[in-house]
């Protein structure tokens, strides 16, 4: 860790599922001599890729949890986080991007910009991440990198510009032409370790010259010297052109595009050079903390070891040696033996064991300097906690946490399983904020909620394997919501007289629909309701949002305005006004036109052309609305909005419809009102389950 901070790169590798992220990371680790043998994602050796260290990841051939590692390349240290591509594990991508300075967006040369590519790109935008794009799988039949560059511009709004053109495509893919040095690169021997530099083949000289002109034109906006050189028709040096590309990339106004084939070991070294040349060091990225004592005023941080410490815990993991907390140090140094302050909990913590991660392996270190990523053992904290030097009151901004959309009822088979399940759920909910649990006292079932069927399936499997839990699972339940459609008045008096002091509180006002989850406005004047009871009124209204009077689902989109009321000098209390608010809510709610909302998912199905009709028919049967159909070479991508309730078991149906050749992804889009015919069915099911619970 003695490297200068300007030679450090913290990057993430993100993409749509099956674009080759983990394969690319494996090749990077091999070529930087971090590992000595390449293992494939679905390898015959049964070992699995280095970054897929969990048994489930090796079996399924997918990345479930983000994994951190680091390597060195030409005097630079590159910290890498390999993230999952499946939308069910979107939180892993979210928290990784929160602490990174740059990213590689991997795209398939055949599939192009796919649904999850769009989601990942939005996440990168949320955290202002500069990125370079790598168009992978140029050796596949139907590969067309320039069509993918057009999609980057049209679908993602990137100012994407090619730094390379391919030498051959599909089975004839041999290497790439670098448009900055105007040289051809061929990757020799079995693992592409030897890069042979040659002159550009005659057949590609004109195309290379034309593409270099386009590159210079795009980069000239970010360099006056380059603009001047072009206008005066001088020779443009590689250094001048690279400097302009770097400026544009760091400002997030330019996306350099490289290409190759990770599986065939082509194009990896130029990609590593691009990471070090164009992505920023920790010093070149703006980082801010919020000053809690100054109404959360933003405070600029500098990646300097000598400044006071500010570090963020962004991921937790349970290991045989205790809790492992992944840390990014933004300012100062996190040293072994130092005492730090957890801003959220207000507790002081002594730093014990510090490690650096390489997938599931680790090495001991004495400190994590500014700009680096490491991990701590034996620290009790939550994901998203900020560590600072004692006496400071700064907090890093929180991560965006998507809301779960699917719920499953689980019941342990015996007492031992019940104890173990409790331990497992405590651990999983602490590690993953999108995995949530609730207990239903009526049915005696525990409800687990997550981002999709695969998300919950993985956690159920982990409970069985890691905690020996025997479970009975109930039907998946959709996270329905209730909402109101019109304004409605309330005037409710809560009056209770028993021996001694009674209870009295009166609330008058109205409720109406709003875009926000819940809004409360106090318009009471003249002290009709004493100021100290207003928070109790708000609390009473908020409590009612947890379980709606209509169909007992959580309520969303309600604005409550309290404009009058009355109190009693002896009998009024916080409890009385909370009860009055609850009564007022119930009174107005039924008159406000309550409706049931269901989560609607954005579904993207990629299928061979011959099955297009079958797939569209299957989506229509599921109350789906087709919003777009696009030809992507030999396959078709169908995008639709489909209610989540209709998507259970769809993967099996899709496989049988398309002989296993189609795949789909889905992510939450919005909440929409449930049609009347479906509503009757839900009401009937609710009545049935209430009867069963009563028996």
The DSSP string of 378-427 is: S----TT-EEE-TT--EEEPPPP-PPP-EEEEEEESSHHHHHHHHHHHHH
Model pLDDT, residue 443: 58
Stronger pLDDT, 451 or 613, i.e. the higher one: 613
Distance separating alpha carbons of residues 525 and 618, to the nearest angstrom: 58
Distance separating alpha carbons of residues 96 and 83, to the nearest angstrom: 7
CATH assignment of 485-593?
Answer: 3.30.230.10
Distance separating alpha carbons of residues 75 and 658, to the nearest angstrom: 50
Confidence class of residue 690 from pLDDT cuts 50, 70 and 90? Answer: low
Model pLDDT, residue 500: 65
Distance separating alpha carbons of residues 281 and 537, to the nearest angstrom: 51
Look at residues 657, 674, 672 and name the one whose alpha carbon lies nearest to residue 605: 657
Q: In this predicted model, what pLDDT tens digit does every residue of 55-77 receive, in sequence order?
A: 555 565 555 666 778 888 888 98
H-assigned helices in 597-675: 612-621, 650-657
Model pLDDT, residue 652: 75
Could you tell me what percent of the chain has a pLDDT over 70? Answer: 91
Q: In this predicted model, what pLDDT tens digit does every residue of 324-351 receive, in sequence order?
A: 888 889 988 888 888 888 888 888 888 8
**pLDDT(190) > 50:** yes
- Token pair 């140090």 in the structure block, residue: 329
Neighbours of 652 (CB within 10 A): 9
Model pLDDT, residue 631: 81
Query: Domain segments of the chain: what residues?
Result: 5-284, 287-396, 406-479, 485-593, 598-678
The residue-averaged pLDDT of 534-543 equals 93
* H helix and E strand count, the chain: 16, 37
Confidence class of residue 435 from pLDDT cuts 50, 70 and 90? Answer: confident
**Across 15-19, 207-211, 333-337, 638-642, least confident range:** 15-19
Model pLDDT, residue 60: 56
Token code pair at residue 274: 């691009």
Model pLDDT, residue 442: 54
The residue-averaged pLDDT of 396-409 equals 77
Distance separating alpha carbons of residues 693 and 695, to the nearest angstrom: 5
Hey, which residues does 513 pair with through a beta bridge? 558
Q: In this predicted model, what pLDDT tens digit does every residue of 362-387 receive, in sequence order?
A: 788 888 888 888 888 878 888 788 89
Q: Is 54 left (phi over 0), alpha (psi -120 to 50) or beta?
A: beta
Model pLDDT, residue 43: 44
Neighbours of 178 (CB within 10 A): 21
SS3 at position 27: helix
CATH assignment of 406-479?
Answer: 3.30.70.870
Model pLDDT, residue 356: 82
The residue-averaged pLDDT of 123-146 equals 89
- For 178, phi and psi rounded to 5 degrees? -85, 120
- Inter-residue contact 372 to 329 (CB < 8 Å): yes
**Residues in CB range of 446: below 8 A, 6 or more apart:** 409, 410, 411, 421, 425, 437, 438, 439, 440
Model pLDDT, residue 475: 72
Model pLDDT, residue 39: 63
CATH of 598-678, one of 3.40.640.10, 3.40.50.2000, 1.10.8.50, 3.30.70.240: 3.30.70.240
Radius of gyration over every alpha carbon of the chain, rounded to an integer in angstroms: 29
Model pLDDT, residue 162: 92
- Kindly report the CA angle at 599 between 426 and 455, in degrees rounded to 5? 35
Burial, 502: exposed, middle or buried (Cβ in 10 Å; 0-12, 13-18, 19+)? Answer: middle
Q: Check if 406-479 and 598-678 are the same fold.
A: yes
Count the helix, strand and coil residues of the chain and give each as a percent rounded to the nearest 5. 30, 35, 35
CATH of 5-284, one of 1.20.950.20, 1.10.1660.10, 3.40.50.300, 3.40.718.10: 3.40.50.300
**pLDDT(189) > 60:** yes
What is the residue-averaged pLDDT of the chain?
A: 84
**pLDDT(83) > 90:** no
Model pLDDT, residue 169: 87
Model pLDDT, residue 383: 79
- Token pair 């207003």 in the structure block, residue: 534
Task: Show the 3-state SS of 495-544.
Answer: EECCCCCCEEEEEEEEEEECCCCEEEEECCCCCCCCHHHHHHHHHHHHHH
Instruction: State CA 517 to chain mean position distance.
Output: 21
Model pLDDT, residue 492: 93
**pLDDT(81) > 50:** yes
**pLDDT(1) > 90:** no
**pLDDT(157) > 80:** yes
Model pLDDT, residue 633: 66
Model pLDDT, residue 678: 86
Could you tell me what percent of the chain has a pLDDT over 90? Answer: 28
**Residues in CB range of 684: below 8 A, 6 or more apart:** none
**pLDDT(680) > 80:** yes
What's the fold here for domain 287-396? Elongation Factor Tu (Ef-tu); domain 3 (2.40.30)
Model pLDDT, residue 467: 86
């Amino acid at each position: 860790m003695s490297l200068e901070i300007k030679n450090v790169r913290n990057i993430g590798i993100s993409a749509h599922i099956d674009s080759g992220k983990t394969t690319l990371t494996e090749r990077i680790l091999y070529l930087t001599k971090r590992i000595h043998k390449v293992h494939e994602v679905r390898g015959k050796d049964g070992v699995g890729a280095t970054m897929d260290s969990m048994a489930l990841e090796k079996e399924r051939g997918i990345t479930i949890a983000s994994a951190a590692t680091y390597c060195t390349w030409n005097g630079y240290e590159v910290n890498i986080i390999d993230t999952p591509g499946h939308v069910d594990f979107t939180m892993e991508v979210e928290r990784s991007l929160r602490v990174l300075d740059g990213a590689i967006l991997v795209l398939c040369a055949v599939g192009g910009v796919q649904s999850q590519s769009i989601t990942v790109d939005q996440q990168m935008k949320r955290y202002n991440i500069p990125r370079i794009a790598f168009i992978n799988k140029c050796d596949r039949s139907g590969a067309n990198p320039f069509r993918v560059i057009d999609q980057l511009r049209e679908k993602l709004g990137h100012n994407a510009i090619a730094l390379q053109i391919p030498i051959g495509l599909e089975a004839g893919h041999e290497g790439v032409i670098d448009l900055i040095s105007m040289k051809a690169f061929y990757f020799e021997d079995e693992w592409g370790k030897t890069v042979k530099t040659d002159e550009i083949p005659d057949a590609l000289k004109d195309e290379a010259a034309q593409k270099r002109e386009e590159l210079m034109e795009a980069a000239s906006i970010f360099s006056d010297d380059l603009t001047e050189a072009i206008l005066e028709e001088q020779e443009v040096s590689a250094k001048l052109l690279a400097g302009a590309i770097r400026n544009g990339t760091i400002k997030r106004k330019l996306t350099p595009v490289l290409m190759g084939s990770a599986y065939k070991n082509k194009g990896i070294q130029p990609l590593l050079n691009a990471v070090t040349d164009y992505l920023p060091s920790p010093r070149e990225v703006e980082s801010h903390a919020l000053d809690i004592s100054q109404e959360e005023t933003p405070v600029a941080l500098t990646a300097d070891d000598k400044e006071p410490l500010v570090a963020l815990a962004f991921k937790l993991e349970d290991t045989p040696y205790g809790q492992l907390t992944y840390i990014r140090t933004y300012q100062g140094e996190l040293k072994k033996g130092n005492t730090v302050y957890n801003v959220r909990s207000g507790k002081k913590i002594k730093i014990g064991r510090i490690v650096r991660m390489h997938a599931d392996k680790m090495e001991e270190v004495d400190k994590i300097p500014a700009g680096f990523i490491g991990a701590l053992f034996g620290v009790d904290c939550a994901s998203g906690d900020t560590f600072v030097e004692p006496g400071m009151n700064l907090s890093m901004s929180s991560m965006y946490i998507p809301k779960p959309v699917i719920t499953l009822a689980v019941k342990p088979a015996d007492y031992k399983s019940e104890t173990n399940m409790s331990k497992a759920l405590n651990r999983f909910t602490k590690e993953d904020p999108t995995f949530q649990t609730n207990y239903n006292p009526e049915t005696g079932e525990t409800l687990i909620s997550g981002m999709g069927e695969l998300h919950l399936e993985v956690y159920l499997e982990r409970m069985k394997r890691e905690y020996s839990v025997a479970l009975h699972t109930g039907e998946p339940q959709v996270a329905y919501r209730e909402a109101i459609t019109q304004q409605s008045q309330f005037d409710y008096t809560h009056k209770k007289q028993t021996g001694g002091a009674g209870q009295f509180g009166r609330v008058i006002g109205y409720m109406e629909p709003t875009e926000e989850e819940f809004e409360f406005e106090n318009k009471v004047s003249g002290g009709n309701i004493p100021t100290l009871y207003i928070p109790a009124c708000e609390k009473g209204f908020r409590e009612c949002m947890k379980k709606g009077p209509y169909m007992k689902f959580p309520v969303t989109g309600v604005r409550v305005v309290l404009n009058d009321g009355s109190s009693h000098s002896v009998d009024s209390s916080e409890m009385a006004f909370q009860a009055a608010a609850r009564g007022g809510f119930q009174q107005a709610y039924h008159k406000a036109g309550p409706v049931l909302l269901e989560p609607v998912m954005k579904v993207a199905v990629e299928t061979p052309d011959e099955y297009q009709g079958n797939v569209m028919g299957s989506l229509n049967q599921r109350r789906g609305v087709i919003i777009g159909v696009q030809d992507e070479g030999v396959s078709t991508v169908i995008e639709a909005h489909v209610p989540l309730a209709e998507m259970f078991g769809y993967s099996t149906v899709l496989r049988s419809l398309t002989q296993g050749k189609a795949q789909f992804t889905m992510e939450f889009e919005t909440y929409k009102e449930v049609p009347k015919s479906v509503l009757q069915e839900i009401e009937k099911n609710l009545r049935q389950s209430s009867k069963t619970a009563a028996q």
